[in-house]
Amino acid sequence: MLLSQGRLRQTIILGALAFVVASGLCLYKTNLYEKLPVPAGLKPEPSPPPKPTPIYKATPEPRPDITDNFPRAASAKSPSDLPEIPPWNDPPEPHVDEKTPLFIGFTRNWRLLQQVVVSYITAGWPAEDIYVIDNSGVMLSNQNGLLGLQNPFYLDHKRLTDILKIKVLTTPTLLTFAQLQNFMTFNALENGWEHYFWAHMDSPAVSDEEYEEDGQPYKSLYMRALTVMRETMKPGYGPLAARWFAYDRLTLVRTQAYVDVGGWDTLIPFYMGDCDMHERLWMRNFTIEDAKAGLVYDVASAVDDLEMFYRRKSDKAKREDAAPPPPPEPPAPVPKSDGRNSPEYHELLKKLDEMQRAKNDDKAGRNTWQSAQHGGHGEPFYRDGPGFEQGISMTMNFGRDIFEAKWGRGQCDIRAAGLGEDDAWRVVPDWEKEEVQQRARDERRRETKKRLAKEKAEKKKGNG
């Protein structure tokens, strides 16, 4: 029986719908729909990859807080609150006629800086002649008292100038070692100083209290250094550039000699810069001579109380030791001076010698004191401690590469290798190696052969 036209249309539509539903279910269950082409403009955008997040290095172990190593100076209201310098090391009064400026550069580690300043004061150096260069790179933050003791770049500007009575020069930004050396020379030029001294901040100095020479009276470290400077000022002394006391832990510089060779090469910021400078001085026939003035140590730590450098009260003392909160019994009387070369003096030498040996024997390196502090977060000019140390290390390595590029070799003895001042930046890398020398000989032979062939051709052409 034939369906009516309306029923037929209805059957077809229902069948089509059933087919579509069945096909959709089939595609869904088999995931085939993901493979079907999508009309242009309807294709969904792919999900973006997850945004990368910072991956941090391991957090360094926290360093123990440091304490100030001169409690008496920390509580002092005036210089008179400090112990007096042992009388045998008193600086001359009035000041000698000569200018004897002593520069000490500082970047970080207040305990070591304060130690070396106190050591020179107690060794007889006039406090007004000592210039600490605040090269912390924090601009006026130390002068304005904005940094805390745990900050590696902290320096107690007020204590240095008002209590210890020395001078502080502040660099406008962080200088490299080579730049700092030129800063010293520049200041000497500005002040008209023909000579100046400079010392490392990790090298405390002590007068040699056992010193005797040809029956001459005892001299402090300062007076012996002055004697050395006076020798160099005599007419006809010679083309001196520097005098080294205990290598260059303390150095006397003749200002004009450093100027004449163009100062330190600031392209070599740290290590190898001294090799470059000294070799260039010798190339100009300047001399660098050893000298003695006292005992100068190389340390990576500081004594816990810098009164050890004063050792004891002198007979001319007019004050009692600062006392803690009132004790039940009256404080013991202050011991009087027991004279030069005392047991206390030898105890100081023993301590400094132990510190020096500890630095030289440290398997972690000799300059661990430079990264001993990690504090100061949130303070002006804050720098991540390990990051700063890594950056300085990378800059040091870069300087070694510059030195090698400048002289074609990485070793310090560039004069002994046959190089002169005019050879800087002109020699090829590794020029001393045999294969490099052979290539140069081959190249010269090729050039000679080419030149002779050219001359022969020109001669033949002229005869024709």
Q: What is the mean pLDDT of residues 119-126?
A: 98
**What's the pLDDT tens digit per position in 320-357?**
343 444 544 544 444 445 579 999 999 999 999 999 99
Torsion angle of C-alpha atoms 387, 389, 390, 392, degrees rounded to 10: 120
Can you give the pLDDT at residue 314? 36
Can you give the pLDDT at residue 21? 65
Residue 35 in this model has a pLDDT that exceeds 70: no
Q: For residues 389 and 270, what is the distance between their CA atoms, to the nearest angstrom?
A: 13
Grade residue 453 by pLDDT with cuts at 50, 70 and 90.
Answer: confident
How big is the chain, counted in residues? 464
Strand partners, 170: 134
Query: Are residues 239 and 287 in contact, defined by beta-carbon separation less than 8 angstroms?
Result: yes
- Percentage with pLDDT > 90 across the chain: 68
- Percentage with pLDDT > 70 across the chain: 85
Grade residue 38 by pLDDT with cuts at 50, 70 and 90.
Answer: low
Can you give the pLDDT at residue 313? 41
Q: What is the mean pLDDT of residues 298-321?
A: 72
Can you give the pLDDT at residue 16? 66
Can you give the pLDDT at residue 432? 75
Can you give the pLDDT at residue 463? 75
Angle formed at CA 119 by CA 118 and CA 121, multiple of 5 degrees? 65
**What's the pLDDT tens digit per position in 66-76?**
999 999 999 99
Q: For residues 442 and 354, what is the distance between their CA atoms, to the nearest angstrom?
A: 58
Q: For residues 222 and 201, what is the distance between their CA atoms, to the nearest angstrom?
A: 17
Can you give the pLDDT at residue 46? 83
**What's the pLDDT tens digit per position in 183-226?**
999 999 999 999 999 999 999 999 999 988 778 889 999 999 99
Can you give the pLDDT at residue 284? 97
Can you give the pLDDT at residue 436? 76
Can you give the pLDDT at residue 220? 97
Can you give the pLDDT at residue 154? 97
Q: Side by side, which strands form the sheet with 130-134? A: 167-170, 130-134, 102-106, 195-199, 250-254, 240-245, 287-291
Q: For residues 306 and 303, what is the distance between their CA atoms, to the nearest angstrom?
A: 6
Q: What is the mean pLDDT of residues 226-243?
A: 95
Q: For residues 206 and 435, what is the distance between their CA atoms, to the nearest angstrom?
A: 52
Can you give the pLDDT at residue 4? 67
**What's the pLDDT tens digit per position in 367-401?**
776 677 888 999 999 999 889 999 999 999 999 99
Can you give the pLDDT at residue 315? 38
When the pLDDT of each residue in the chain is averaged and rounded to a whole number, the result is 88
Can you give the pLDDT at residue 30? 61
- Which residues 6+ apart lie within 8 Å of 68 measured at CB? 74, 110, 111, 114, 149
